[in-house]
Chain A
Amino acid sequence: MELWFSEQHTPNVRLSIKVDRQLFSETTEFQRVDIFESTEFGRILVIDGRIMMTERDEFIYHEMITHVPLCVNPDVRRVLLVGGGDGGSVRELLKYDTIDKIDLVEVDEAVVRACRKFIPKTAACLDNPRVEIFFADGLKFIRRKENFYDLIIVDYTDPLGAGEGLFTREFYGNCFAALTVGGIMVNQHENPFYSSDIAAMQRAHKRLTASFPIVRAYQIHIPTYPAGQWLFGFASKKFHPTRDVDLARWNSLALQTNYYNTRIHVGAFALPTYVMKTLSAAE
């Protein structure tokens, strides 16, 4: 018997992964959540038919969404994670002893419950006492905070799903207000390759540049994301991601990583010409 999971990347392109078995499936009031077991990618978290993470390549995503802002500002004390119920980003953040508190706001408790049970590789860390989990709407949660967080990470990838509100100007603006003077926000900047995704990327970029004085995109390579390519947005009140960064200081922390290093940090902000053009067209 052969069982294949397919994700439609465009109406004409799909990515298929051979699946051994389905471990979890639940349709909540927000979305459908599935976890599959596969030979090539290990356990896979799928939301509304889209791959959120796999055990095999999650390190790339989670290291790059966390270590980049922390290298720029190692004095971060309070972090807000919006989405990220799989725990991967929390695991990376906990490597920094200097972080006092991580607030994780996840709209759907099923994601956390499922990951805790089936993907301990990323979710085991969620029991750490420095982590507090709120099951709430990110947009609502953030507008009650002012000058509070040093870092906000938007760890939710689908601009059309339950986290639609996290890709809007009102969200970015309220994040700006919730950040401290040296605050940084890292958000999803989508896939720059397929035409159907470009509009979402440009819109996110335009709305982000309207809210923050410093906005740069950086690129990572993720095998299970559309076109294998993904952009994060680095939005900041004060720090430029490659000019205002003390790479030696990060290296002196001697943290263990598999993808991230300070050369990749600088290199990730070097974008292909077509990506630069698409972004500047949106500004």
Chain B
Amino acid sequence: MRDDYLTQERAPILEALTKMKATRLVPFDVPGHKRGRGNRELAEFLGQACLDVDVNSMKPLDNLCHPVSVIRDAEILAAQAFGAAHSFLMVGGTTSAVQAMILSTCKPDDKIILPRNVHRSAINALILCGATPVYVNPQVDERLGISLGMKVAEVVAAIESNPDAKAVLVNNPTYYGICSDIATITRVAHEHGMKVLADEAHGTHFYFSDKLPPSAMSVGADMAAVSMHKSGGSLTQSSLLLTGAAVNAGYVHQIINLTQSTSGSYLLMASLDISRRNLALRGEEIFDGVIELVEYARDEINSLGGWYAYGKELVDGDSVFDFDVTKLSVFTRAVGLAGVEVYDILRDEYDIQLEFGDIANILAYVSVGDRVKDIERLVSALADIKRIYRKDPSRLMKVEYIDPIVDAAPKDAFYAEKISLPIEQTVGKTAAEFLMCYPPGIPILAPGERITREILDYVRYAKRKGCQITGPEDMTIRRLQVMV
């Protein structure tokens, strides 16, 4: 029986690759580097062990586009480990998983309910499929200047006034660790025949600890995009798409194949397989360690004064239904520094690289790979930065959520006839392209949204503080394309 052989101790793709290596096949197939012999510099840089398994699909290794053996087995194991009906190994990042969720549930002109603080990949999917967004205003913590979760009442209102919507998308959690009440949202959405999609780019660890907010699959959501390469420990660009019992996995598979590479990387797939095994066997212990480390860091940072490393106290049972305590976010504005300024100082002066800095916060990503002595470095650096760089906080702009005015669906705006204008002349026009700070990669403007004075002020300020502004065709961000 296959089921006896399929236990979480196994790693079918890893095992198949190991076996393949031992057969010493003569490769008359791609890739052309032929186990690195044809590209010595690359082999030296990455290591021979890496190039030995950078191989193409073959019978003993299965095929990601049509998995029937070891990849299928790895997907079954991942589905079991995450409590899903089905799982798909993804090699195009969580971006591809988010897009597959939306493309699987929405057709042109369908409606989808989502918070405005979604990752750009979600709005990109709307451009691809032509669905129309119905935005739920994420609440904003006025002091921290971060957008929170969706209030259940507002989601219910959106569902009731858009009974024809096909799905509700939920960030579980946001980049900052904020969770909406995904259990209730799922129940209400299902009562109205809508699917629930979860962007769990920052929530892989939820599946392996009862000290953390609930995972999407555990509350019956229909699909979840899970960034294994973030807290899960797999290689960059590898990800998982999970589906529940009410989802037609065969159709999802067809959607994935529309855009997924037909030469899926075995390095990425093996890393997913190995990481899934590690999480299934040791996840709870690993994340207990991370939780303890971050709680320690939070206490130490808060004892420095000035900085505010926020935690569970933000929870209000509604727009902050729950908080992911593994996220080490620190509010910087009371020290008189923008988050992005602290982010730059830490890297340039203290050799410490953070995940991101925004207008008023920094985020340190803490994972299984971190050590107490590295936490000590971060805390001490913040103590030193406060001593040396502290400024008057009143010089900093207070950030507020800017409620978007949607003039057109993202797809219509993106493909519309458009003209390029100097950015300061675009007030009142409708954007035909994205404008965002990266990271966190949440659009300030999405195609189809009205450009306002407020938005341009914000962009100018963010740029001056050192944020990287991305999106427009004009990479200098002096011009912006608008709908004619």
Which A residues fall within an 8 A CB radius of B?
A: 137, 139-140, 142-143, 162, 164-165, 168-171, 173-174, 177, 210-211
CA distance A142 to B372 in the complex (A): 16
**Residue B18, interface by CB 8 Å:** no
B350 touches A170 (CB 8 A): yes
Give Cα A162 to B351, complex, Å. 17
Contacts of B453 in A (CB 8 A): none
B384 touches A137 (CB 8 A): no
Whether B372 contacts A169 by the Cβ 8 Å rule is no
Asked whether A171 lies within 8 Å of B380 as measured between CB atoms, the reply is yes
Q: Is the CB of B387 within 8 A of A139?
A: no
Asked whether B44 is an interface residue with its Cβ less than 8 Å from the other chain, the reply is no
Q: B residues touching A (Cβ–Cβ < 8 Å)?
A: 300, 304, 349-351, 372-373, 376-377, 379-381, 383-384, 387-388
A170 touches B372 (CB 8 A): no
> A170 to B344, alpha carbons, bound, how many Å?
15
Is the CB–CB distance between A143 and B349 below 8 Å?
A: no
Q: Chain A nearest CB: distance from B410 CB in Å?
A: 44
Q: How far is the CB of A152 from chain B (nearest CB, A)?
A: 14
Contact of A177 among B373, B381, B387 (CB under 8 A): B387
Does A143 lie within 8 Å of B373, measured CB to CB? no
Which residues from A are CB-within-8-Å of B383?
A: 143, 170, 173-174, 177
The total number of A-B Cβ pairs within 8 Å is 53
Shortest Cβ distance from residue B239 to the other chain A in the assembled complex, whole angstroms: 33
Q: Interface of chain B, helix or strand or loop or mixed?
A: helix
Known: A170-B381, A170-B383, A174-B384. A137 touches B373 (CB 8 A): yes
- B350, B351, B372, B379: the one contacting A143 at CB < 8 Å is B379
Query: What's the nearest-Cβ distance from chain A to residue B295, in Å?
Result: 15
Q: How far does the alpha carbon of A168 sit from the alpha carbon of B379 in the complex, in Å? A: 12
Contacting residues, chain A, for B387 (C-beta < 8 A): 173, 177
- Residue pair A169, B373 in contact (C-beta under 8 Å): no
Q: Contacts of B381 on A, CB cut-off 8 Å?
A: 168-170, 173
Contact check, B349 vs A210: say whether CB atoms are below 8 A apart: yes
Report chain A residues within 8 Å CB of B350: 168-170
Instruction: List 14 extra interface pairs beyond A168-B351, A177-B387, CB under 8 A.
Output: A137-B376, A140-B380, A143-B304, A143-B383, A162-B373, A165-B376, A170-B350, A170-B381, A171-B380, A173-B383, A173-B387, A174-B380, A174-B384, A177-B383
CA distance A210 to B350 in the complex (A): 10
B373 touches A139 (CB 8 A): yes
Query: Quick one: given A143-B379, A210-B349, are A170 and B384 in contact (CB under 8 Å)?
Result: yes
